[in-house]
Protein backbone atom coordinates (compact mmCIF):
# COMPACT_ATOMS: atom_id res chain seq x y z
CA UNK A 1 0.00 0.00 0.00
CA UNK A 2 1.34 3.47 -0.94
CA UNK A 3 4.52 2.12 -2.54
CA UNK A 4 5.23 3.65 -5.94
CA UNK A 5 7.54 2.58 -8.73
CA UNK A 6 9.59 5.08 -10.70
CA UNK A 7 7.06 4.68 -13.54
CA UNK A 8 4.25 5.61 -11.15
CA UNK A 9 6.20 8.73 -10.20
CA UNK A 10 6.75 9.54 -13.87
CA UNK A 11 3.03 9.26 -14.59
CA UNK A 12 2.08 11.35 -11.56
CA UNK A 13 4.59 14.18 -12.07
CA UNK A 14 5.18 14.27 -15.82
CA UNK A 15 8.95 14.04 -15.17
CA UNK A 16 10.53 11.25 -17.22
CA UNK A 17 12.00 8.32 -15.31
CA UNK A 18 15.33 8.91 -17.04
CA UNK A 19 15.36 12.50 -15.77
CA UNK A 20 14.46 11.39 -12.25
CA UNK A 21 17.41 8.97 -12.26
CA UNK A 22 19.76 11.74 -13.42
CA UNK A 23 18.53 14.05 -10.66
CA UNK A 24 19.04 11.29 -8.13
CA UNK A 25 22.59 10.57 -9.29
CA UNK A 26 23.76 14.10 -10.08
CA UNK A 27 22.02 16.12 -7.38
CA UNK A 28 21.25 13.48 -4.76
CA UNK A 29 17.76 14.98 -4.69
CA UNK A 30 15.90 11.72 -4.11
CA UNK A 31 16.71 8.76 -1.90
CA UNK A 32 14.36 5.98 -3.00
CA UNK A 33 14.15 2.75 -1.07
CA UNK A 34 15.28 -0.48 -2.67
CA UNK A 35 13.61 -3.84 -2.82
CA UNK A 36 15.62 -7.04 -2.51
CA UNK A 37 15.61 -7.08 -6.31
CA UNK A 38 17.36 -3.65 -6.19
CA UNK A 39 14.40 -1.96 -7.89
CA UNK A 40 13.57 1.53 -6.64
CA UNK A 41 10.34 2.24 -4.83
CA UNK A 42 8.91 5.36 -3.22
CA UNK A 43 6.46 5.80 -0.36
CA UNK A 44 3.68 8.37 0.12
CA UNK A 45 6.02 10.95 1.67
CA UNK A 46 8.44 10.54 -1.25
CA UNK A 47 5.58 11.09 -3.70
CA UNK A 48 4.49 14.32 -2.03
CA UNK A 49 8.08 15.58 -1.94
CA UNK A 50 8.61 14.78 -5.64
CA UNK A 51 5.32 16.45 -6.57
CA UNK A 52 6.62 19.64 -4.92
CA UNK A 53 9.96 19.37 -6.71
CA UNK A 54 8.19 18.80 -10.04
CA UNK A 55 5.96 21.80 -9.38
CA UNK A 56 8.91 24.14 -8.75
CA UNK A 57 10.80 22.70 -11.73
CA UNK A 58 7.82 23.12 -14.05
CA UNK A 59 7.53 26.72 -12.88
CA UNK A 60 11.04 27.43 -14.16
CA UNK A 61 13.20 26.89 -11.07
CA UNK A 62 16.50 25.15 -11.88
CA UNK A 63 16.97 21.71 -10.43
CA UNK A 64 20.38 22.71 -9.05
CA UNK A 65 18.69 25.41 -6.97
CA UNK A 66 15.97 23.04 -5.77
CA UNK A 67 18.63 20.48 -4.79
CA UNK A 68 20.21 23.07 -2.49
CA UNK A 69 17.00 23.60 -0.52
CA UNK A 70 15.80 21.75 2.53
CA UNK A 71 12.54 19.82 2.31
CA UNK A 72 10.85 22.51 4.39
CA UNK A 73 12.11 25.24 2.05
CA UNK A 74 10.81 23.30 -0.93
CA UNK A 75 7.44 22.91 0.78
CA UNK A 76 7.23 26.63 1.54
CA UNK A 77 8.18 27.66 -2.02
CA UNK A 78 5.58 25.26 -3.43
CA UNK A 79 2.92 26.86 -1.21
CA UNK A 80 3.94 30.43 -2.02
CA UNK A 81 4.30 30.24 -5.79
CA UNK A 82 1.10 30.99 -7.61
CA UNK A 83 0.48 28.77 -10.63
CA UNK A 84 -0.80 30.27 -13.83
CA UNK A 85 -4.09 28.92 -15.07
CA UNK A 86 -2.68 27.04 -18.05
CA UNK A 87 -0.41 24.78 -15.98
CA UNK A 88 -3.27 22.49 -15.10
CA UNK A 89 -1.10 19.49 -14.27
CA UNK A 90 0.44 21.47 -11.42
CA UNK A 91 -2.97 21.95 -9.84
CA UNK A 92 -3.69 18.24 -10.27
CA UNK A 93 -0.44 17.39 -8.49
CA UNK A 94 -1.09 19.84 -5.66
CA UNK A 95 -4.64 18.58 -5.14
CA UNK A 96 -3.41 14.98 -5.19
CA UNK A 97 -0.92 15.79 -2.46
CA UNK A 98 -3.59 17.53 -0.37
CA UNK A 99 -5.96 14.57 -0.83
CA UNK A 100 -3.29 12.07 0.23
CA UNK A 101 -2.74 14.18 3.36
CA UNK A 102 -6.46 14.76 4.02
CA UNK A 103 -5.53 18.45 4.13
CA UNK A 104 -8.95 20.07 3.71
CA UNK A 105 -7.88 23.74 4.04
CA UNK A 106 -5.18 23.36 1.41
CA UNK A 107 -7.38 21.28 -0.91
CA UNK A 108 -10.16 23.87 -0.79
CA UNK A 109 -7.72 26.76 -1.24
CA UNK A 110 -6.21 25.21 -4.38
CA UNK A 111 -9.62 24.23 -5.75
CA UNK A 112 -10.98 27.74 -5.13
CA UNK A 113 -7.98 29.24 -6.91
CA UNK A 114 -8.37 27.19 -10.09
CA UNK A 115 -12.15 27.64 -10.24
CA UNK A 116 -11.79 31.39 -9.73
CA UNK A 117 -9.03 32.01 -12.27
CA UNK A 118 -9.81 29.38 -14.91
CA UNK A 119 -13.59 29.42 -14.55
CA UNK A 120 -15.85 26.66 -13.28
CA UNK A 121 -16.16 24.64 -16.48
CA UNK A 122 -12.51 24.81 -17.50
CA UNK A 123 -11.49 23.98 -13.96
CA UNK A 124 -13.73 20.91 -13.94
CA UNK A 125 -12.58 19.60 -17.31
CA UNK A 126 -8.88 20.39 -16.95
CA UNK A 127 -8.24 19.81 -13.24
CA UNK A 128 -11.06 18.07 -11.38
CA UNK A 129 -11.70 15.20 -13.78
CA UNK A 130 -7.96 14.50 -14.33
CA UNK A 131 -7.50 14.60 -10.55
CA UNK A 132 -10.26 12.03 -9.99
CA UNK A 133 -8.81 9.82 -12.72
CA UNK A 134 -5.38 10.02 -11.12
CA UNK A 135 -6.65 9.17 -7.63
CA UNK A 136 -8.83 6.42 -9.08
CA UNK A 137 -5.86 4.84 -10.84
CA UNK A 138 -3.86 4.94 -7.62
CA UNK A 139 -6.74 3.26 -5.82
CA UNK A 140 -7.11 0.54 -8.47
CA UNK A 141 -3.37 -0.11 -8.24
CA UNK A 142 -3.68 -0.47 -4.45
CA UNK A 143 -1.60 2.66 -3.86
CA UNK A 144 -4.27 4.90 -2.39
CA UNK A 145 -7.12 4.24 0.02
CA UNK A 146 -10.75 4.67 -1.08
CA UNK A 147 -11.24 7.18 1.74
CA UNK A 148 -8.76 9.53 0.02
CA UNK A 149 -10.93 9.46 -3.09
CA UNK A 150 -14.06 9.99 -0.96
CA UNK A 151 -12.38 12.92 0.81
CA UNK A 152 -11.61 14.68 -2.49
CA UNK A 153 -14.99 13.84 -4.01
CA UNK A 154 -16.95 15.23 -1.05
CA UNK A 155 -15.19 18.60 -1.28
CA UNK A 156 -15.67 18.75 -5.06
CA UNK A 157 -19.35 17.84 -4.76
CA UNK A 158 -19.82 20.71 -2.31
CA UNK A 159 -18.39 23.11 -4.90
CA UNK A 160 -20.65 21.79 -7.66
CA UNK A 161 -23.74 22.19 -5.48
CA UNK A 162 -22.74 25.78 -4.78
CA UNK A 163 -22.22 26.41 -8.49
CA UNK A 164 -25.64 24.92 -9.34
CA UNK A 165 -27.38 26.96 -6.65
CA UNK A 166 -25.60 30.10 -7.84
CA UNK A 167 -26.90 29.84 -11.39
CA UNK A 168 -29.75 32.03 -12.55
CA UNK A 169 -31.95 30.27 -15.09
CA UNK A 170 -31.75 31.95 -18.50
CA UNK A 171 -34.75 33.98 -19.61
CA UNK A 172 -35.22 31.63 -22.58
CA UNK A 173 -35.72 28.11 -21.21
CA UNK A 174 -36.19 24.89 -23.17
CA UNK A 175 -39.55 23.39 -22.19
CA UNK A 176 -39.24 20.94 -25.09
CA UNK A 177 -36.48 19.13 -23.18
CA UNK A 178 -36.55 17.40 -19.82
CA UNK A 179 -33.52 15.30 -18.85
CA UNK A 180 -33.45 12.49 -16.30
CA UNK A 181 -30.05 12.26 -14.54
CA UNK A 182 -28.78 9.29 -12.52
CA UNK A 183 -26.04 6.71 -12.05
CA UNK A 184 -26.91 3.01 -12.34
CA UNK A 185 -27.28 0.69 -9.38
CA UNK A 186 -23.96 0.12 -7.56
CA UNK A 187 -22.37 3.14 -9.24
CA UNK A 188 -21.72 5.62 -6.43
CA UNK A 189 -19.75 8.30 -8.29
CA UNK A 190 -22.06 11.22 -8.97
CA UNK A 191 -19.73 14.11 -9.82
CA UNK A 192 -20.25 13.73 -13.56
CA UNK A 193 -24.05 13.79 -13.37
CA UNK A 194 -23.96 16.74 -10.98
CA UNK A 195 -21.73 18.57 -13.42
CA UNK A 196 -24.14 17.74 -16.25
CA UNK A 197 -26.98 19.13 -14.12
CA UNK A 198 -24.96 22.35 -13.83
CA UNK A 199 -24.41 22.52 -17.62
CA UNK A 200 -28.08 21.88 -18.35
CA UNK A 201 -29.34 24.38 -15.79
CA UNK A 202 -27.00 26.98 -17.27
CA UNK A 203 -28.79 26.45 -20.60
CA UNK A 204 -32.23 26.58 -19.01
CA UNK A 205 -32.94 22.89 -19.57
CA UNK A 206 -35.26 21.29 -16.96
CA UNK A 207 -33.84 18.22 -15.23
CA UNK A 208 -34.99 15.46 -12.91
CA UNK A 209 -32.05 14.52 -10.71
CA UNK A 210 -32.50 11.04 -9.24
CA UNK A 211 -28.93 10.73 -7.90
CA UNK A 212 -26.58 7.79 -7.60
CA UNK A 213 -27.07 4.03 -7.23
CA UNK A 214 -30.48 3.97 -8.93
CA UNK A 215 -32.09 0.64 -9.79
CA UNK A 216 -34.11 -0.09 -12.92
CA UNK A 217 -37.19 -0.44 -10.70
CA UNK A 218 -36.79 3.12 -9.44
CA UNK A 219 -36.21 4.37 -12.98
CA UNK A 220 -39.46 2.73 -14.07
CA UNK A 221 -41.31 4.57 -11.30
CA UNK A 222 -39.70 7.85 -12.37
CA UNK A 223 -40.69 7.24 -15.97
CA UNK A 224 -44.31 6.60 -15.02
CA UNK A 225 -44.63 9.53 -12.60
CA UNK A 226 -42.43 12.23 -14.15
CA UNK A 227 -44.20 13.28 -17.31
CA UNK A 228 -42.42 14.98 -20.15
CA UNK A 229 -39.01 13.31 -19.86
CA UNK A 230 -37.44 13.47 -23.32
CA UNK A 231 -33.86 12.38 -22.62
CA UNK A 232 -31.96 10.23 -20.15
CA UNK A 233 -28.34 10.73 -19.11
CA UNK A 234 -26.16 8.58 -16.89
CA UNK A 235 -22.46 8.15 -16.23
CA UNK A 236 -20.29 5.17 -15.36
CA UNK A 237 -16.94 5.47 -13.62
CA UNK A 238 -16.37 2.07 -12.10
CA UNK A 239 -18.71 -0.02 -14.26
CA UNK A 240 -19.72 -1.95 -11.15
CA UNK A 241 -23.33 -2.29 -12.18
CA UNK A 242 -22.98 -6.07 -11.77
CA UNK A 243 -24.25 -6.95 -15.19
CA UNK A 244 -23.02 -6.82 -18.72
CA UNK A 245 -23.09 -3.21 -19.95
CA UNK A 246 -24.53 -4.22 -23.30
CA UNK A 247 -27.40 -6.04 -21.56
CA UNK A 248 -27.96 -3.10 -19.24
CA UNK A 249 -28.20 -0.70 -22.18
CA UNK A 250 -30.72 -2.98 -23.85
CA UNK A 251 -32.90 -3.05 -20.71
CA UNK A 252 -32.66 0.72 -20.43
CA UNK A 253 -33.48 1.11 -24.12
CA UNK A 254 -36.61 -1.01 -23.69
CA UNK A 255 -37.70 0.86 -20.57
CA UNK A 256 -37.22 4.27 -22.21
CA UNK A 257 -38.21 3.26 -25.71
CA UNK A 258 -39.69 6.68 -26.39
CA UNK A 259 -36.71 8.67 -25.13
CA UNK A 260 -33.15 9.21 -26.29
CA UNK A 261 -30.57 7.80 -23.86
CA UNK A 262 -27.11 9.30 -23.47
CA UNK A 263 -24.27 8.04 -21.32
CA UNK A 264 -20.61 8.78 -20.73
CA UNK A 265 -18.06 6.17 -19.71
CA UNK A 266 -14.54 4.97 -20.37
CA UNK A 267 -15.93 1.50 -21.03
CA UNK A 268 -16.08 0.36 -24.63
CA UNK A 269 -19.31 -1.15 -25.86
CA UNK A 270 -20.32 -2.08 -29.39
CA UNK A 271 -23.69 -2.50 -31.09
CA UNK A 272 -25.61 -0.28 -28.70
CA UNK A 273 -29.40 0.12 -29.16
CA UNK A 274 -30.66 2.66 -31.67
CA UNK A 275 -31.88 5.14 -29.04
CA UNK A 276 -28.64 5.07 -27.01
CA UNK A 277 -25.61 7.27 -27.67
CA UNK A 278 -22.19 7.35 -26.00
CA UNK A 279 -20.89 10.84 -25.21
CA UNK A 280 -17.13 10.63 -25.52
CA UNK A 281 -15.09 13.61 -24.37
CA UNK A 282 -15.56 17.25 -23.43
CA UNK A 283 -16.97 18.43 -26.76
CA UNK A 284 -19.65 15.73 -26.81
CA UNK A 285 -20.76 16.58 -23.26
CA UNK A 286 -20.97 20.29 -24.02
CA UNK A 287 -22.84 19.60 -27.25
CA UNK A 288 -25.41 17.50 -25.38
CA UNK A 289 -25.95 20.26 -22.83
CA UNK A 290 -26.58 22.81 -25.57
CA UNK A 291 -28.69 20.75 -27.99
Q: Is residue 84 domain-shared with residue 46, that is, in the same domain?
A: yes
Per the structure, the complete domain to which residue 17 belongs is given by 6-165
Q: Please report whether residue 174 resides in a domain.
A: no
Q: Is residue 157 domain-shared with residue 25, that is, in the same domain?
A: yes
Helix (H, G, I), strand (E, B) or coil at 207: strand
Q: Please report whether residue 93 resides in a domain.
A: yes
**Residue 282 belongs to a domain with what CATH number?**
3.40.50.280
Q: Is residue 139 domain-shared with residue 76, that is, in the same domain?
A: yes
Q: Is residue 14 domain-shared with residue 104, that is, in the same domain?
A: yes
Contacts of 90 (CB under 8 A, 6+ apart): 55, 58, 59, 83
> 143, 165, 187: which is the final residue of a domain?
165
Supply the pLDDT for residue 238: 63
Q: Is residue 148 domain-shared with residue 236, that is, in the same domain?
A: no
In tens, the pLDDT along 223-275 reads 999 889 999 999 987 655 556 788 889 999 999 999 999 999 877 677 889 99
Q: Please report whether residue 172 resides in a domain.
A: no
Q: Please report whether residue 36 resides in a domain.
A: yes
Q: Please report whether residue 171 resides in a domain.
A: no
- pTM, to two decimals: 0.74
Task: Estimate to the nearest angstrom the gap between the alpha carbon of 274 and the chain centroid.
Answer: 29
Contact 258, 231 (CB under 8 A): no
Q: How many domains does the chain have?
A: 2
Name the residue among 269, 182, 170 with its Cα closest to residue 229. Answer: 182
Burial 122-139 (b: 16+ CB within 10 A, else e): bbbbbbbbbbbebbbebe
β-pair type (179-184, 207-214):
parallel
> 165, 198, 228: which is the final residue of a domain?
165
Supply the pLDDT for residue 270: 73
Q: Please report whether residue 213 resides in a domain.
A: yes
Q: Is residue 152 domain-shared with residue 197, that is, in the same domain?
A: no
In tens, the pLDDT along 7-56 reads 777 776 778 888 888 888 888 877 777 776 667 777 777 777 887 788 78
> 165, 197, 232: which is the final residue of a domain?
165
Amino acid sequence: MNNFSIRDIENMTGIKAHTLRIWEQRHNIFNPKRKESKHRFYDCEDLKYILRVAYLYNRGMKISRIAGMTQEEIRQHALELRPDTENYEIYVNQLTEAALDFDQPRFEKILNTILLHAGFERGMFNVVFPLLSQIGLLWLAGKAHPCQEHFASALIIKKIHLAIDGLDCPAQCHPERKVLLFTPEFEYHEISILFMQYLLKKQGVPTVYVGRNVSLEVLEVMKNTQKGITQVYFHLVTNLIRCDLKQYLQKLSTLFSGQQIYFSSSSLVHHIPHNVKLLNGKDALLAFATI
